[in-house]
Amino acid sequence: MTGESPVINAPPSVRPRIGLVGCVKAKSTQPEPAVKLYTSALFLGRVKYVSQTCDQWFILSALHGLVEPDCVLEPYDVALDDASRQQRREWSARVLQQLRDRLGDLGKYEFEFHAGAPYRDFGVVEGLEAAGAAVTNPTAGLRIGHQLAFYAKEMS
């Protein structure tokens, strides 16, 4: 015995936080880096929030799946709201694979969702949790107006 006492009640290890921001319908009319392509107040609030609270963040695009903020995209008109349940499940599986490809072991992370139900509820959250990841949704249950107020308040 070295005389050192064991650590009791040590704080849990802190997982890197990954922000996942849902795309929106309002877009620029020309190719832009993804962070500038989407133009709604809700998207801008989400981006400002995750930029300050997460270690890394991605955009969840209905067309492209997981997108790096600086990836240049052409404007498009695709929404998960218009997709069938099967298409949403396929999209979710694609996003989970894209996350694994970029991050490796998903269980090492905490994922923070800033996206609507179509981006969460067809396998993404379940897949992350099954991989051992922590998942949070700071605006759960809030309508758009309340989400806008949340982001405005949190960033003021």
To the nearest 10°, report the CA torsion of 145, 147, 153, 156: -100
Asked whether residue 54 is domain-assigned, the answer is yes
**Mean pLDDT, residues 123-128:** 95
User: For 6-18, how does the pLDDT look when each residue is reduced to its tens digit (9 = 90+)?
Assistant: 334 434 558 999 9
Q: What gap in Å lies between CA 108 and CA 97, rounded to an integer?
A: 15
DSSP state of 106: G
In 3-state terms the chain splits into helix, strand, coil percentages (rounded to 5) of: 40, 20, 40
Distances (CA, A) of 148 to 23, 100, 120, 134, 140: 15, 31, 19, 24, 13
State yes or no: pLDDT of 126 exceeds 80: yes
Asked whether residue 7 is domain-assigned, the answer is no
Q: What is the CATH number of the domain that holds 23?
A: 3.40.50
Q: Is 152 helix (H, G, I), strand (E, B) or coil?
A: helix
Asked whether residue 11 is domain-assigned, the answer is no
Residues 6+ apart with CB under 8 A from 150: 45, 138, 139, 142
Segments forming the whole domain that contains residue 71: 17-154
State yes or no: pLDDT of 141 exceeds 50: yes
Q: What gap in Å lies between CA 73 and CA 153, rounded to an integer?
A: 30
Query: 51: which 2 tokens?
Result: 């930029």
State yes or no: pLDDT of 26 exceeds 80: yes
Asked whether residue 58 is domain-assigned, the answer is yes
**Mean pLDDT, residues 15-35:** 96
Q: What gap in Å lies between CA 125 and CA 17, rounded to an integer?
A: 15
* pTM score: 0.88
State yes or no: pLDDT of 81 exceeds 80: yes
Q: What is the mean pLDDT of the chain?
A: 90
**Mean pLDDT, residues 135-147:** 93
**Mean pLDDT, residues 32-43:** 96
Asked whether residue 8 is domain-assigned, the answer is no
Percentage of the chain beyond pLDDT 70 is 90
State yes or no: pLDDT of 65 exceeds 90: yes
Q: What gap in Å lies between CA 46 and CA 54, rounded to an integer?
A: 11
Asked whether residue 52 is domain-assigned, the answer is yes
Q: How many domains does the chain have?
A: 1
